[in-house]
A = this chain, B = another copy of it.
Amino acid sequence: MFDRPFELLPLPSPESYEKWMSVALEEAERAAAADEVPVGAVVVRGDQVLSRCHERKIALSDPTAHAEILALREAARHYGDWRLEDCVLFVTLEPCPMCAGAILLARIPLVVYGAPNYKFGAVRTHLRLFEMDKWNHHVEVVEGVLAAKCGELLTRFFAQRRQQPC
C-alpha cells in the first residue's frame, strides 16, 4: 500500500545484544527512580537507537504506558512509518499480552528480552503469542540477555515497596 522511502537494514548482530540491553537497563533504572515498575525498552535500527523508554504508567496516568508501547510509538514517529520491519526491540522484561500484540502489529522481526515475566508474560511464561499460526507476521525471540540484572532490579523494587508502610 505504501512504498518505503528507504531500504531495510540488516538486524543488529548477537554480539551487540548485551550493549543494547544495557541501554534498556538504564531506562529501567530511571523508572525505579521515578517509583514506576522498573522496565526499560530500546528500539534499534542498524546501529542506531530509534527510541529508549521506561514504564510511565503512573506519571502519565496511562494504563498502556509500558516501556515497550512507548518505545514502539516513539520509534515509529521517528521512522515515519508504523511498520518497523527492520527494527529490533530490546526489553528488560518478557512482554505482556498488550506489548506482545503491539510488537506483532508493528511488524518487529526480533525481540530480545531479559527476565521472565512470571505475572503477565505472553511470549513464553503464560502464553506463546508469537508461536500461534494465526497472525500474518512472525516474530523471532531471544530470551535471557542480562536476565539476572534485569530481574534483580524488579525484585529489589517490589521488596522495597512491601517494606513501605501502607
Q: Which residues of B contact A21 (CB under 8 A)?
A: none
Query: How far in angstroms is the closest Cβ of chain B from A97?
Result: 3
Contact A77–B61 (Cβ < 8 Å): yes
Contact A82–B63 (Cβ < 8 Å): yes
The oligomer's copy count stands at 2
Q: Which residues of B contact A62 (CB under 8 A)?
A: 73, 76-77, 82
Q: CB of A146 within 8 A of chain B? A: no
Q: CB of A84 within 8 A of chain B? A: yes
Q: CB of A100 within 8 A of chain B? A: yes
A-B contact list, 16 entries, CB within 8 Å: A61-B79, A61-B80, A62-B82, A63-B73, A63-B76, A63-B83, A63-B102, A64-B72, A66-B105, A96-B101, A96-B105, A97-B97, A97-B129, A98-B99, A99-B101, A119-B136
